[in-house]
Amino acid sequence: MMFSWIFIFWLLQTHVLVCTFDDSQCSWKTKLSRYSDGNVVISAFVPLSIYYILNKNIKFHVKDKYFEQFNLNNYQCSLAFIFATEEINRNPHLLPNTSLGFELYDIQRSEWDFLREAFLWLTGMGTNIPNYTCRRENKVVALLTGASWVTSARIGRLLNLYKYPQLSFGHFDSILSDRGQFSYLYQTAAKDSSLSLGIISLLLHFSWTWVGLVLIDNLKGIKILSKMRGEMYRKRVCVAFVEMVPENLFYFDSSSQKTLKVIMESSANVVIIYDDRESLHCIMLVRLRFEKIWKVWVMNSKFDVNIIYEPFIFDSFHGSLLFTHHHDEISDFRKFIQAYTPSKYPDDQYIDIFWKILFNCSFFLPDCKVSVNCLPNASLEMFPSHMWEMHMTEASYNIYNSVYAVAHSLHEMTLKQLQTQPHRNGERTIHPWELHPFLKKIHFKNGAGHHVALDSQMKLDEEYDILNFWNFPNGLRQNMKVGTFSFKAPHGHQLFLSDHMIQWSTGFTELPRSMCSESCVPGFRKSSQEVEPTCCYDCAPCPENEISNETDMDNCVKCPESHYANAQQNHCLEKAVTFLSYEDPLGKALSCVSLGCSLLTVGVLGVFVKHYNTPIVKANNRSLTCILLITLTFCFLCPLLFIGHPNTAICVLQQSIFAVLFTVALSTVLAKTLTVVLAFKATVPGRMVRWLMISRAPNFIIPICTIIQLGLCGIWLSISPPFVDSDAYTEHGHVIILCNKGSELAFHCVLGYLCSLALGSYTMAYFSMNLPDTFNEAKFLTFSMLMFFSVWVTFLPVYHSTKGKVMLAMEVFAILASNAGLLGCIFAPKCYIILLRPERNSLHCMKSKAHSRREF
């Protein structure tokens, strides 16, 4: 059986033109046409052969040096033509009392010779005599042509001269709809205006954004290229290359080699072949037999797999995806094919050869007898399934509709003649040009229930079947339906695919990828290259706190303020709310220092209260000393307002209380320095100085300075008070809750006022620090103010250069340091004498020390 199949392929490769016998009665010769008589006749040009050569320099044994290939798909078209004619003749409601005949011509030449064949058909003889026919009676009313538009166009220009109705059963072409050039040509095929959208929808479904285009170099190819490029641009699909193949391609020349080289070298794994002729498929398939190119081929039509004459070597087109117009089955066509035998159709020479090869049976023996090997139930259905299709192909469906279109037009014309001339007897000769008004308006429903119209304006986009070409098992080829595309379906549901059914090319172990650049994974964005198309790009990481959570994103998305980007920058995580809390190590340390210093200040106050009547305490203004110590105690507690979860009340209090308490402390220091200066000035005669000392005027400095600070704080709180704020940027992954000071100007005015008090105290203390007295504390006040300036001068630049909890900690540290400076510089020496050198804290020691100084 395998040898029979190989012989069939050899037969399909070399055209069957060798069947000739010597017996005069039963001999038959090759005929180029078949004829069936009728009242009216429809002719059809159906080329059963494909012609091509691999190279101009290669010569084959076939005549005219063409490599001739039998086409089973077109052979089925001829059977569909006969089937439609017989079905109409059996229909009592269509063309009653009228028999429909046919003329079927096998054009055994290349398409360049079709015009000559048309002349022969018009004249009816072997000599071309324009405007003359040798037929006794011409019953032909229409001619069916195909399968390429070039064939129909060349014949159509000739038939225009004779006003012959011509129906093209090939692919729909807008050029053939030009009534200026082809006034009497009609197309049966459905429009394919939505085919480009279907192909691009398929590309998007599989994320194929880098594809190659192979088109025919003619007006139709240019229109398809323009439309497809525009649609691809809108859908962001890029064209890796465009190859325009010559229209008259039927051999593998230098331009074809260039096309094949471009395909092989391109990084695109998907190639779209948009062609309405068999020659391009034929040439490419034959050449790809030698060049194994693992690509995904997307085609707009089926190709005849039988042109490869080595049945078990065919992998290059395995996994191809094919778009064909969807049509329901004509129910009786399969029965017709099953009953199509040499005994029933003896004028078909090809069917007899198939019988002889498959069943070793012949109906044309020299002695006019039928071979005894002929099986009674033998049929074309036994033909190998990967070579012969029992269901009607797209071209067969179109030629079937073409025959019915002519029949319905004849029927309408006959009815109109009966209405206008009801009493006319005898048959009337039908002139072909009389059919045109009816063909233009014909609209009927065929045997499958589909509406058929020849007017291009009435044609609608049909649904497409998506076929997957399988060479599996190896050598058993078939087209498997894996999906559909319907332009009329709702958006988003136009394409339906069964991905699990698709077999990919042999070179792919998984879903093929076809992109100019590798996909940018989540966390990266596309960065376009200046010299390359938009589909070619680099992948750049997302900026800080921005993410991309999909593949091939153009731009990264910024996370909300309450979220932050994870390490991979592909997801936003919610930030943790944080603040300077007591549980925080820093907050815990500052709290301990604050409480410790406050307790220490209370201890110092206790020491001074205990030794309240001692000389050293009396000498330094006991009341001001107690006020300063009490104020410092509360100043040390101010940092506790900065620790913990802030609220509006705390935000207002922490700044204003700190400002007022520190103002009291600094004004107390100012009063102490002024008291020292006045104490020494009181020894000099002067009524004003004495009055100031007696009236204790320096003590009024404290309330006056405090009232001024209260006024500044009041203005601050009324204009732009502090409020609760959040900082989502300083600390990664955290939202810091803190107090915003409101008006920065007001804050710096308050701080500036404190500095002015400190500057006044420093000035007064500096000029009195060298005055002669045993317990003169001016020098200690001077050092405390120097420390105060050092702390706050250092604090300001650091404060403005930090954010978040560090900034808050810096402010707390400045408060503690300045408080500690006052406590340490002013009270540490006194506590040293009181506690460790009590002998020096006496009036005798003070007088003796003063006397020794005078003697010195």
Q: What are phi and psi of 229, to 5 degrees?
A: -65, -40
Q: Which two tokens stand for residue 312?
A: 């078990």
Question: How far is residue 577's CA from residue 834's CA, in Å, rounded to a whole number?
Answer: 50
Closest Cα partner for 268 from 244, 291, 296, 287?
Answer: 296
Which of 382, 387, 389, 390 is closest to 359 using CA atoms?
382
Residue 565: strand pairing partners = 572
User: Under a CB-based contact definition with an 8 Å cutoff, are residues 308 and 314 in contact?
Assistant: yes
Range list of β-strands (E), 260-307? 270-274, 296-299
Instruction: Return the residue matching tokens 């120097």.
Output: 786
Question: In the numeric block, which tokens belong to residue 469?
Answer: 């070409």
Identify the burial level of 844 via C-beta atoms within 10 angstroms of its C-beta, where 0-12 means exposed, 13-18 middle and 19 or more buried: exposed
Q: Domain boundaries in the chain?
A: 524-574, 585-851
Query: What is d(CA 146, CA 727) in angstroms, rounded to the nearest whole number?
Result: 76
Residue 16 is predicted with a pLDDT of: 36
- Dist. CA 237–CA 272, nearest whole Å: 13
CA distance 259 to 276: 18
pLDDT value at residue 1:
42
pLDDT at 78: 92
Question: What per-residue confidence (pLDDT) applies to 369?
Answer: 52
CA–CA dist 21, 18 (Å, integer): 10
Helices (H), 682-700: 687-694
Burial of 720 (0-12, 13-18, 19+ CB in 10 A): middle
- As averages over each run of 10 residues, the pLDDT of the chain (856 residues) reads 40 37 40 82 85 47 51 87 94 91 78 71 61 64 85 84 90 83 89 86 92 85 86 88 76 69 87 71 58 82 56 66 87 89 84 78 59 73 75 89 94 86 64 90 87 77 85 70 90 89 82 85 84 78 90 88 87 87 88 92 89 77 85 90 89 88 86 72 52 59 89 90 85 84 88 85 72 61 78 77 81 86 84 81 56 40
Q: Which residues contact 183 (CB under 8 A, 6 or more apart)?
A: 160, 163
Superfamily of the domain at 585-851: Rhodopsin 7-helix transmembrane proteins (1.20.1070.10)
- pLDDT on residue 61: 39
pLDDT at 17: 33
pLDDT for res 765: 72
Q: Which sign does the torsion angle of CA 686, 688, 691, 697 carry?
A: negative
* Tally of CB atoms within 10 A around 652: 19
What pLDDT does residue 856 have? 33
CA-to-CA distance for 268 and 539, rounded, in angstroms? 19
Residue with tokens 């220092």: 593
Closest C-alpha among 434, 405, 819 to residue 590: 819
Amino acid symbol at 384: P
> Residue 210: in which H helix or E strand, if any?
strand 210-216
Q: What is the CA radius of gyration of the chain?
A: 53
The pLDDT score that the predictor gives to residue 401 is: 94
Query: Which among 433, 442, 462, 430 has a CA at the least distance from the CA of 402?
Result: 442
Residue 459 CA to chain centroid, in angstroms? 33
| Residues near 214 by beta carbon (within 8 Å), at least 6 away in sequence | 243, 245, 259, 263, 271, 272, 273, 274, 275, 280
C-alpha distances in angstroms, 628 versus 617, 621, 636, 775? Answer: 13, 11, 12, 18
